[in-house]
């Protein structure tokens, strides 16, 4: 926990700093006549991230130093990382596909492909689980919501 | 009370369309609740796009029915599978699973169902009698009071929904920051949109909700599959002795009433979720029992205590929502989003502007409880079969509905990219134990907080001394400071105690 606290706290504080130093000054806008500038509330959020992220990171660092842990030497289990990452990659590719083809037309392949990757081998299970949700979406979008095929 | 509005509400709740909408919500919720890994918030976030074509009353009742159904359904997997569909049913598994293993699965399920329904109905009645007077008082509040109450609720949720106040506040800070994206109300100019016109209306709530709650949860579940694929459900057999009897009911009734009280109290406080309620109720039932050593070995009171509190939390969480417009948990926060999609401002103004809708929702909630009892009682065998559905089958289907939900909203590829970004954010928040509840609540209440803060600053002309004339606002500001200090001290103490314990890292 101390190691993950250190890194996550650092990331949160870093994002807060980025927001305070670059995003809010450049993109929040200004209103010199208002008592409350448009950047005030986002700045409160960013300050909360900087302060709390900093405290989390500092606490993690102190705990690691006390326990004798080295912060940069955690072993990464690449197999576990790959297993955690592939669904993200799969969905990202599906989203890319969705910029060309409607999800109703390739939804069955999206579900079926993931079922196979997750270890399902029964063809009737793959077929049923792939087709039924797509048919339900078709009924919902075309007949109930009347938005057409999505 | 406006009796003609109440009469109209009841008649609206008893139409065929209401039965179908509410019954469908309860049924869907029951099915989702039975499947381990699919939580209430996942179900609601995916179901919101389905409500676009419904009337506001049916849409909200459908979502509340869904919420109630998941709470009752999660007991089925807790009892038969020892894998609670929701964290709040973990206490149910403590006695439910041993009872099922002892050859009494149906009795355990019926105890869970009756405790759920009674807890739910009683808490709904309390909601009706508390929320309306509460909203009447809240109508007298000005922007000072509302800003102070919202700040207090945010700090309270940040401290109590996770273990670490700093992580809660950091998540809340991110929620506030992202909640300000879009057109600034005062200037009408884009704020933090980075030139993307799609962000003029703010971050799409559906993308934030589905990404942070549902899609990220599927990524977490698929990661777990690497380590655990076991699914050993206890089968229901035809056995005439395996059913709830009058002596069992009489024995558990006081426990149900106590559990309802605990659940209602916990639910009404922002930030304390149903898990706290069910475990608190379980602990109290164990302490009050003459045979505490039988708890954890199949004691019916254990199931009754946990389930009654778990279900009582759902209506009770609507007390601050309808009374003040403050969501106490993720489900309530999502309901705010659903209300907004249907063009309704939830909170005390709902009572003033649209009392018929409020009464209809109350009537719909009672109807949902009755439907829940009927569905649970007659559909036990069916729901027991659903526990055998392996998680690897559920994950791709839910991912498909997450993506389809965004397309139904009409956001296109940009919306899907936002969805993916929030799924990654939700995944990291869950992995590193940052409170996504606080994040989501902060994201949703930020526009309201900013509006009230702005009105307060304009009305007071920057003079802080005006707060001396607003005692309620002053009390809530003092409570916020006190809660912050107490929660910070508690976090440091917990960390100190944890540092003394042996670490696995």
User: What is the pLDDT, as a whole number, of residue B187?
Assistant: 78
Which of A16, A103, A146 lies nearest to residue B403, judging by beta carbons? Answer: A103
Whether B457 sits inside 8 A of A1 (CB atoms) is: no
What residue of A is the nearest CA neighbor of B221? A84
* Separation between Cα atoms, residue B156 and residue B479, nearest integer Å: 10
Whether A137 sits inside 8 A of B404 (CB atoms) is: yes
User: What is the pLDDT, as a whole number, of residue B505?
Assistant: 41
Instruction: Quote the tokens at residue B95.
Output: 């006695």
User: What is the pLDDT, as a whole number, of residue B500?
Assistant: 65
Instruction: Establish if A23 touches chain B: CB-CB under 8 angstroms.
Output: yes
Which of B166, B408, B505 lies nearest to residue A52, judging by beta carbons? Answer: B166
* Separation between Cα atoms, residue B148 and residue B473, nearest integer Å: 6
Mean of all residue pLDDT scores within chain B? 84
Q: How far is CA A71 from the centre of its chain?
A: 25
Tell me if residue B191 falls in helix, strand or coil.
strand
pLDDT of B354 > 50? The answer is yes
pLDDT band at A43 (very low <50, low <70, confident <90, very high): very high
Partner B, chain A 130-149, Cβ-Cβ below 8 Å: 133-134, 137, 140-141, 144-147
The fraction of chain B above a pLDDT of 70, given in percent, is 94
Partner B, chain A 66-105, Cβ-Cβ below 8 Å: 66-67, 69, 80, 83-84, 87-88, 91-92, 94-95, 98-99, 102-103
Task: Calculate mean pLDDT across residues A120-142.
Answer: 90
| Residues B423 and B219: beta-carbon distance below 8 Å | yes
> Looking at beta carbons, which residues of chain B come within 8 Å of A5?
432
> Looking at beta carbons, which residues of chain A come within 8 Å of B453?
36, 41
Whether B396 sits inside 8 A of A110 (CB atoms) is: yes
Task: Calculate mean pLDDT across residues B462-477.
Answer: 83
Q: What are phi and psi of A56, to 5 degrees?
A: -60, -45
Task: Calculate mean pLDDT across residues B448-469.
Answer: 84
User: What is the pLDDT, as a whole number, of residue B161?
Assistant: 67
User: What is the pLDDT, as a whole number, of residue A22?
Assistant: 95
Whether B420 sits inside 8 A of A46 (CB atoms) is: no
CB atoms < 10 A from the CB of B427, how many?
23
CA B2 → CA B10, B14, B137, B351, B354, distances in Å?
13, 19, 17, 11, 12
The fraction of chain A above a pLDDT of 70, given in percent, is 95
| Residues B351 and B136: beta-carbon distance below 8 Å | yes
Q: What is the pLDDT of residues B69-126, one digit of tens each?
A: 888 888 888 888 777 767 777 788 888 888 888 888 889 999 999 999 999 999 989 8
The ipTM (two decimal places) reads 0.93
Instruction: Quote the tokens at residue A7.
Output: 């890194």
Whether B432 sits inside 8 A of A92 (CB atoms) is: no
Tell me the pTM: 0.81
Q: What are phi and psi of B182, to 5 degrees?
A: 125, -170
Whether A1 sits inside 8 A of B226 (CB atoms) is: no
Q: In the Cβ-directed half-sphere of B438, how many Cα atoms lie within 13 Å?
A: 33
Q: What is the pLDDT of residues A74-118, one digit of tens each?
A: 667 888 888 889 999 999 999 999 888 999 999 999 999 999 999
Given the structure tokens 């009409």, which residue do they identify?
Answer: B410
Instruction: Quote the tokens at residue B256.
Output: 């149900």
Nearby residues of B396 by Cβ (< 8 Å), 6 or more positions away: A110, A111, A112, A114, A115, A118, A129
Q: What is the pLDDT of residues B273-329, one digit of tens each?
A: 677 788 888 888 888 888 888 888 888 999 999 999 988 988 888 888 888 888 877
Query: Which DSSP string do the residues of B476-494 spell out, in sequence order?
Result: HHHHHHHHHHHHHHHHHHH
User: What is the pLDDT, as a whole number, of residue B501?
Assistant: 62
> Looking at beta carbons, which residues of chain B come within 8 Å of A67?
499, 503, 505
pLDDT band at A123 (very low <50, low <70, confident <90, very high): very high
Q: What is the pLDDT of residues B32-50, one digit of tens each?
A: 888 766 778 788 888 888 8
Which of B169, B404, B498 lies nearest to residue A150, judging by beta carbons? Answer: B404
Nearby residues of B133 by Cβ (< 8 Å), 6 or more positions away: none
Task: Calculate mean pLDDT across residues B233-251.
Answer: 80
Q: How far is CA B184 from the centre of its chain?
A: 30
CB atoms < 10 A from the CB of A74, how many?
12
pLDDT of B504 > 50? The answer is no
Whether A36 sits inside 8 A of B410 (CB atoms) is: no
Give how far B249 is from chain A: nearest CA, Å.
40
Task: Calculate mean pLDDT across residues A61-83.
Answer: 77
The fraction of chain B above a pLDDT of 90, given in percent, is 17
Q: In which element (H, E) is residue B8 found? A: helix B3-13
From A116, A29, A74, select the one nearest B191 (Cα to Cα): A29
Select the residue from B50, B54, B166, B228 to test the A interface by mutation, using most A Cβ atoms within 10 A. Answer: B166
> Looking at beta carbons, which residues of chain A come within 8 Å of B432?
4-5, 8
Give how far A100 is from chain B: nearest CA, Å.
10
Whether B413 sits inside 8 A of A98 (CB atoms) is: yes
């Amino acid at each position: 926990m101390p190691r993950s606290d250190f890194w996550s706290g650092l990331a949160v504080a870093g994002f807060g700093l980025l927001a305070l130093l670059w995003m809010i000054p450049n993109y929040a806008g200004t209103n010199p006549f208002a008592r409350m500038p448009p950047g005030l509330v986002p700045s409160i959020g960013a300050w909360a991230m900087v302060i709390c992220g900093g405290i989390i990171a500092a606490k993690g660092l102190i705990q690691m130093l006390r326990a004798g842990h080295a912060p940069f030497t955690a072993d990464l289990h690449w197999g576990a990382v790959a297993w955690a990452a592939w669904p993200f990659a799969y969905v990202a590719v599906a989203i890319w596909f969705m910029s060309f083809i409607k999800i109703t037309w390739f939804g069955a392949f999206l579900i079926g492909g993931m079922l196979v990757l997750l270890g399902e081998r029964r063809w009737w299970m793959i077929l049923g689980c792939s087709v039924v949700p797509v048919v339900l979406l078709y009924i919902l979008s075309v007949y109930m919501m009347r938005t057409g095929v999505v | 009370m406006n009796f003609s509005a109440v009469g109209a509400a009841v008649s609206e709740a008893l139409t065929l369309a209401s039965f179908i909408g509410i019954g469908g919500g309860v049924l869907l919720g029951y099915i989702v609740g039975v499947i381990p890994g699919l939580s209430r918030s996942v179900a609601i976030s995916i179901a919101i796009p389905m409500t676009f074509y419904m009337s506001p009353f049916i849409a909200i009742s459908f979502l509340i029915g869904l919420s109630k159904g998941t709470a009752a359904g999660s007991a089925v997997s807790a009892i038969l599978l020892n894998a609670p569909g929701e964290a709040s049913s973990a206490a149910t598994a403590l006695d439910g699973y041993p009872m099922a293993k002892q050859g009494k699965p149906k009795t355990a399920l019926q105890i869970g169902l009756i405790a759920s329904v009674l807890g739910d109905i009683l808490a709904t009645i309390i909601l009706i009698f508390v929320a309306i007077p509460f909203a009447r008082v809240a109508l007298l509040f000005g922007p000072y009071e509302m800003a102070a109450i919202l700040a207090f609720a945010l700090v309270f949720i940040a401290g109590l929904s996770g273990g670490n106040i700093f992580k809660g506040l950091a998540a809340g800070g991110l929620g506030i920051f992202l909640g300000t994206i879009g057109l600034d109300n005062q200037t009408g100019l884009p704020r933090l949109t980075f030139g993307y016109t799609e962000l003029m209306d703010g971050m799409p709530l559906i993308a934030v909700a589905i990404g942070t709650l549902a899609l990220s949860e599927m990524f977490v579940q698929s990661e777990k599959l690497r380590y655990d694929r076991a699914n050993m459900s206890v089968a229901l057999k035809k056995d005439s002795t395996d059913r709830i009897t009058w002596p069992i009911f009489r024995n558990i009734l006081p426990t149900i009433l106590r559990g309802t009280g605990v659940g209602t109290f916990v639910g009404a406080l922002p930030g304390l979720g149903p898990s706290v309620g069910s475990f608190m109720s379980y602990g109290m039932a164990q302490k009050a029992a003459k045979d505490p050593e039988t708890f954890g070995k199949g004691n019916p009171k254990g199931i009754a205590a946990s389930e009654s509190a778990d279900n009582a939390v759902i209506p009770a969480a609507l007390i601050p929502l309808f009374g003040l417009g403050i969501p106490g948990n993720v489900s309530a926060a999502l309901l705010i989003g659903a209300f907004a999609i249907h063009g309704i401002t939830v909170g005390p103004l709902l009572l003033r502007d649209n009392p018929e809708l409020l009464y209809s929702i109350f009537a719909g909630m009672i109807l949902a409880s009755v439907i829940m009892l009927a569905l649970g009682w007659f559909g036990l065998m069916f729901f027991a079969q659903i526990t055998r559905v392996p998680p690897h089958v559920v994950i791709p289907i839910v991912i498909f509905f997450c993506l389809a939900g965004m397309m139904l909203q009409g956001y296109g590829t940009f919306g899907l990219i936002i969805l993916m970004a929030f799924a990654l954010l939700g995944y990291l928040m869950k992995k590193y134990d940052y409170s996504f509840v606080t994040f989501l609540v902060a994201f949703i209440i930020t526009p309201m907080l900013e509006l009230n803060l702005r009105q307060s600053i304009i009305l007071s002309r920057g003079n802080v001394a005006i707060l001396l004339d607003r005692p309620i606002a002053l009390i809530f500001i003092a409570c916020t400071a006190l809660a912050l200090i107490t929660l910070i001290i508690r976090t440091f103490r917990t960390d100190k105690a944890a540092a003394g314990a042996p670490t696995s890292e």
